[in-house]
Chains A and B, each alone.
Chain A
Amino acid sequence: MTAQPKDIATYNFAYLDEQTKRMIRRAILKGIAIPGYQVPFASREMPMPYGWGTGGVQVTASIIGPGDVLKVIDQGADDTTNAVSIRAFFKKVANVAVTTDTASATIIQTRHRIPEHPLTAGQVLVYQVPIPEPLRFLEPRETETRKMHALEEYGLMHVKLYEDIAKHGRIATTYAYPVKVEGRYVMDPSPTPKFDNPKMHRSPALQLFGAGREKRIYAVPPFTEVVSLDFEDHPFEVQTFDQPCALCAAENVYLDEVILDDHGGHMFVCSDTDHCEKRRNAPTSPLWGGRAEGAGGGLDQSTPHSTPTPALRADPPHKGEGKEKQ
């Protein structure tokens, strides 16, 4: 046999060839210049399946350099299997430093969560996106949705959200909750819980979104208006939890429900494992949000369960699309 597996197993730094990286880099720059607009790109087959983060991996592979420190989370956790797998991939093909510490990462690749610890200028948050088109569930055709974006025709989305209210008394969208970026493009924030939407608004970090199977890249530059769609009489609200994290006692963070037995026993714990660990190791530090000691940004401390602002955000969740504009 002529083909020796070992002969073929040589790959470029960060796996992608340079021409592919250039193509993706150009798409990233366009995405930054047109916030919320989905830039088509010639997504490549990656050594992990479509739908498992190939878009995020291609974006990370195109921006990462030897000086970067990479954190990978899935469901907020560093130790979920797919996060472990992607982190191991970059350790292998790019030999970069990796971390679980949100604050010291320069690039954070994520699926389904935004870390609880506030991001800072200079950090890049790379989202893995399954379906980048926020209008896809209303209109399956790309030819149609492209027109809607071009004409800024988002009436259908408002109709859908309003039908929810008419039928259920509330907007029945709990994750991948659509946002409007800088007053122009309606954007899918990826399937993060709507709890995380306010963190996108005027974040100091650069947010990049990669959808490999659907071949789209989009971006939200730092300090950019990101407003969750809502109505005057039904303002956008984030999820609330009736109890704090059972491990670190954090409030105003997103919790996972853990089933303890088959008699209905369950507990709620932080979905952000790094945040939870840090709090358990330094429970009195005000840096890590939680109970009463000054964390929680604009929280009304007298009613701890009612105003679910994510920890440490100075700005409260914005109410009403466009109301905060400039």
Chain B
Amino acid sequence: MDIAAQSIEGGFVDPVFDAQTVFRTVMDAMARPGSVQPLPAFARPPAPLSATAGAIALALCDNDTPLWLDPALQASTAIKSWLGFHTGVPLANTPADAHFALIATPAEMMALDGFSQGTQDYPDRSTTLILQVGDLVSGSPLLLEGPGIETSATIAPAQMPRHFVEQWKQNIKRFPRGVDIILATADGIACLPRTTRIKTMEA
């Protein structure tokens, strides 16, 4: 399939209701950190952008939200034109300008503090990171506590960024500034808002 056709196809079949379903799933996941919310494939973006991450981008991004792509996604013209066609999203010049960031290979990603952290006055002006991960069970387990979690929750996302637990501690220290993370697997999502505290578990 040529790039032009690829960029036009694979969007939401029903833009209004698909966007609502995807958003609601993200909202539930953000409100209940560590809970895994199933999300069937609503979008068919060009590889290596995953269906789940692509659907989240369609649901949340538009021409008001500069988007940063990691090198693996940046390299694909097809992905850029797919996102451009379906959302009108502009690409951010630097990670620090990005409202959203799509990360296909979290294990190789830059440090979390390279993204926009918001300001003390406007902590909402920060980057929301969408990380594509293989699954939420095969990595090192993370014990989670904080708002949205009744007692504790556990996820074990695979292929997480290097020194993630240490980086996340720094992220928490910056509160109310900081980034929020959406972890996207092939069929579900889980979220780590900046309020979630991680206690590593001995595996």
Contacts and interface: CB of A to CB of B under 8 A. Distances in A.
Q: Do A and B come from the same complex?
A: yes
Contacts, number: 109
Interface in A244-301: none
Nearest to A31: B124
A34 B30 CA distance: 11
B98 to A, nearest CB: 13
Interface in A149-175: 149-151
Interface residues of B, number: 39
Interface stretch (A11-19, A69-77, A190-198): A11-19
B121 interface: yes
A37 B124 CA distance: 9
A35 B180 CA distance: 13
Interface stretch (B15-23, B67-75, B108-116, B156-164): B15-23
Nearest to B145: A326
A13 B17 contact: yes
Contacts of A147: 121
Interface in B129-166: 147-150
Nearest to B15: A18
Given A26-B60, A34-B176, A222 B32 contact: yes
6 contacts: A28-B27, A29-B60, A34-B193, A37-B176, A65-B17, A223-B147
A139 to B, nearest CB: 15
A23 interface: yes
A66 B121 contact: no
Main SS at interface, chain A: mixed
A67 B164 CA distance: 37
Nearest to B151: A223
Given A29-B26, A223-B149, 15 more contacts: A13-B16, A18-B15, A18-B16, A21-B20, A21-B23, A22-B62, A29-B180, A30-B124, A30-B180, A32-B193, A33-B195, A34-B194, A121-B32, A146-B121, A219-B31
Interface string B156-187: 00000000000000000001100010000000
Contact of B19 (A22, A184, A219): A22
Most buried by A among B24, B119, B149: B24
B84 interface: no
A312 interface: no
A38 to B, nearest CB: 9
B128 interface: yes
B17 to A, nearest CB: 7
A150 to B, nearest CB: 4
A221 B29 CA distance: 11
B77 interface: no
A65 B147 contact: no
A84 B122 CA distance: 36
A82 interface: no
A65 B24 contact: yes
Contacts of A18: 15-16, 19
Contacts of B126: 30
B147 A221 contact: yes
Contacts of B123: 34, 37
Contacts of A151: 120
Given A22-B19, A222-B148, A150 B24 contact: no
A129 interface: no
Nearest to A222: B148
A182 B31 contact: no
A45 to B, nearest CB: 19
Contacts of A37: 123-124, 176
B202 interface: no
A184 B123 CA distance: 13
Interface string A185-209: 1000000000000000000101000
A18 to B, nearest CB: 6
Contacts of A182: 147, 195
A193 to B, nearest CB: 24
A39 B99 CA distance: 14
A224 B147 contact: yes
B59 interface: yes
A13 B23 CA distance: 15
B2 interface: no
Given A26-B60, A63-B24, A184 B176 contact: yes
Contacts of B128: 29
Contacts of A27: 124
Most buried by B among A150, A182, A221: A221
A25 interface: yes
B65 interface: yes
B176 A32 contact: no
Nearest to A25: B23
Nearest to B16: A13
Contact of B31 (A25, A30, A146, A206): A206
Contact of A35 (B20, B65, B147): B147
